[in-house]
Amino acid sequence: KMSNKKVLILYKIISYFNLIIAGIFFLIFLTSLTVMSQKLLILLYMMLMVSVIMLSYLSFSLQRSIADKTISLPEATRSGLRINAYITLAYSFFQFSGLLGIILKKNEILKSLPPEYAGEALGVINFMLIFLLIFVIALFIHIFLTFSYLKKIK
């Protein structure tokens, strides 16, 4: 079993990881907004990434109040953590189900490509699947720890 201090350090590392990855995704969506035809879909993804960014950012306040018992967590921060955690949870399930669909249909995707690109595409698909799966797992862990810490510091 991990000590409370190690779990808090893990929570901080995951917070930074999620903040960086969500920030990169947000910038990618922002730049693609000008050239893509599916603007509404991209705006939805941008909103979801803002929710992940807000959850990660607000969790730093939560971490400070856990590490130093004299620092209280404002109710607005507590509410923001809950709302963004629920939105991020919905995004995580959505993303996980999409990844599962790609894993199950990977052979069909590869068959639809010209044979000379199939080898390269398999490497890219596998890399993206692993990377996004790590991101989704980190989101699930972050959400679980956020709700656990919110219960502890009532």
User: What pLDDT is recorded for position 148?
Assistant: 95
Compute the distance between CA of residue 132 and CA of residue 22 in angstroms, rounded to an integer.
11
Whole-model pTM over 0.75: yes
CA 132-43-133 angle, 5° bins: 5
Find, among 93, 53, 89, 80, the residue nearest to 150 by Cα. 80
User: What pLDDT is recorded for position 116?
Assistant: 82
Compute the distance between CA of residue 36 and CA of residue 15 in angstroms, rounded to an integer.
30
Compute the distance between CA of residue 134 and CA of residue 128 in angstroms, rounded to an integer.
10
User: What pLDDT is recorded for position 36?
Assistant: 80
Please identify which residue in the block is written with the tokens 């018992």: 69
User: What pLDDT is recorded for position 22?
Assistant: 95
User: What pLDDT is recorded for position 1?
Assistant: 63
User: What pLDDT is recorded for position 136?
Assistant: 97
Averaged pLDDT in 10-residue chunks for the chain of 154 residues: 85 96 93 84 91 96 91 94 97 95 88 83 90 96 96 84
